[in-house]
Structures are given as structure tokens and as C-alpha cells.
Amino acid sequence: MTTSISTYEADRSIRGKLRRRWMRLYARRPARGGGPGHPRLSVTFDDAPITATTTGAQIVAAHGGKATYFIAASLLGTDGLMGPYAAWRDVERLRAQGHEIGCHTWGHADLGHCDGPRAEQEVMLNHHALAAHGVPAPHTFAYPYGEVSAAPKAALSSRFSLLRALHHGLIEPGADLNQAPSVGLEGHSAERDVVTWMRRAAERKAWLILNAHDVQATPSPWGCTPETLQRVLDCAQALGFELITVAEGARQAA
């Protein structure tokens, strides 16, 4: 079965750019906790390509950590631009291994073009699908494509301890937990960019979230190679990062 998701193009219009800027000021929930006094790193995988649940999970675990997987239930068991997606048995395996299962929208809906009821419906469909396979209601959420408009952000803000976006930044006191920044581990310059942000986080003893997708020798434009992930986590260890799930970081930041 092949997923219907196609290559995504962000809204580059003036209206789209203004919406993104306004959303970072709207319905904010500022982080309050300063953290434990050392830098922390969370590795997140969106959509659960099978390589993220196998190779990705193994590399994170080998560095003493657990990853966070943002699951869009409608994608499970299908094929897409990042290769095959995980099956339910893979999600159950990840949970048994201690990785965090977070929430996407059920159909990978773009919340930049949804109203509040549609956003809540997508989340509830995902919750029901996860619950049917023994997965408790997730504590954290990731906006598909990093996009959100006012009504969905307000509607979902009380449902999760953190909602992750895709704009770059660190999570420190004052950062918005309803639209938390992250840095993408994808594309040719990803490793250099991630290491730059890791050094900033280490200096400021801040929390940094990485977002990734597939982990394979020939990755999609949204993925990385196993060697890249390995080097990034080796660097994190050398800089003194603690590897934590997003749920753990949200508890510290609240």
C-alpha cells in the first residue's frame, strides 16, 4: 500500500510568512524550568519510516538514550517517499524498549490550513488508533510540516505538555512549549548545522531537540545516513549532553 502524501511545498506567500511570524507570538506557554545545569538533547523521528524504528533506534540506544517517535497512524504499514513506514508491531516494540511514542495528526494533516475542530478530530483519531494497540495517550505532539494556524494551536495547547515545531532554536526559560523549536537532521548541510546548534546549547546548558525522518545509506531529502546520526551523537557525548525524550524535557521545562 502506498501513502498519498506527496512532496510538501510550504506557503511562501506574504500571508503565509506573516502567519508563521504571528503564530510564534500567539497562545504561548513559556518554559519556566531552567533544567538540571547541563545540556540536554532529544532525538525525534517523524512519521516512523521503518529505518528510523530500527537503525535510528539502535544508534540512539547505543548512546544510552531513548528517542521520541511522532506517529501518524494512517501511514503505518504503507510505503512513501522515505521508504516503507513502520507497522504496528514496530510501534509496540519501540514502546517496549522505552522509546517515547508521541502524536502527529492521524492523516498527517497540515495544521496551517485546518480549523480547531478538524485538528482535534485528527488528534483523537490518532489517540484511538494508538490506544487500540495498547499505547497510552501521548504527552507530546509534533506539527506536521511544522505548520500551524491560530485555532489548532489554541485547541491543542491544553492536550500536550509540548508541541514541537520546525523553526530553529533552543529551549530555555521563555521558549514557547506550544510551538517548541527544533533543528532538522536532514539534507547535505544538516550535520554542520546541528553541531553548530549543539555547541550553542552546550555553552548555555540548554535543551535542543533534533528532528529527523529516515536513517539509511541513501536517505530521502528529509533523512540522514546512519553515519551522520552516529557522528552527531558521538559529538553530543563529547560535549556532555544528556539524551532525553521530549516528554522528559517537557517535565523539566514546565
* Domain annotation for the chain: domains and CATH numbers: 14-253 (3.20.20.370)
Buried b / exposed e over 47-80, threshold 16 CB at 10 Å, is bbbbbbbbbbbebbeebebbbbbbbbbbbbbeeb
Distance between CA atoms of residues 112 and 23, nearest Å = 10
User: Looking at this protein, which amino acid is placed at residue 250?
Assistant: A
Binning pLDDT at 50, 70 and 90, where does residue 7 land?
low
Mean pLDDT (whole number) for 23-33: 89
Mean pLDDT (whole number) for 90-114: 96
Q: How far, in Å, are 54, 98, 178, 184, 243 from residue 236 at the CA level?
A: 21, 20, 26, 15, 8
Question: pLDDT: is 34 or 62 the higher one?
Answer: 62
Give pLDDT tens digits for 174-212. Answer: 999 999 999 999 987 899 999 999 999 999 999 999 999
Residue 4 pLDDT exceeds 80? no
pLDDT of residue 20: 72
pLDDT of residue 189: 82
Query: Which is it for strands 79-80 and 83-84: parallel, antiparallel or unpaired?
Result: antiparallel
pLDDT of residue 3: 42
Residue 173 pLDDT exceeds 60? yes
What does the mean pLDDT of the chain come to? Answer: 93
Mean pLDDT (whole number) for 6-14: 60
Q: Are 69 and 94 in contact (CB under 8 A)?
A: yes
pLDDT of residue 36: 86
Q: What is the pTM of this model?
A: 0.93
Quick one: cell of 8?
510538501
Tell me which H or E stretch contains 237. Answer: helix 226-238
Buried b / exposed e over 119-147, threshold 16 CB at 10 Å, is bbbbbebbbebbeeeebeebbbbbbbbbb
Mean pLDDT (whole number) for 93-115: 96
Residue 16 pLDDT exceeds 70? no
pLDDT of residue 201: 98
pLDDT of residue 35: 80
DSSP E strands in 8-111: the ranges are 40-46, 68-71, 79-80, 83-84, 100-103
Distance between CA atoms of residues 27 and 1, nearest Å = 39
Distance between CA atoms of residues 146 and 137, nearest Å = 21
pLDDT of residue 11: 62
Which residues are within 8 A (CB) of 12 and not within 5 positions of it... i.e. 6 or more apart?
none
pLDDT of residue 9: 59
Distance between CA atoms of residues 180 and 57, nearest Å = 23
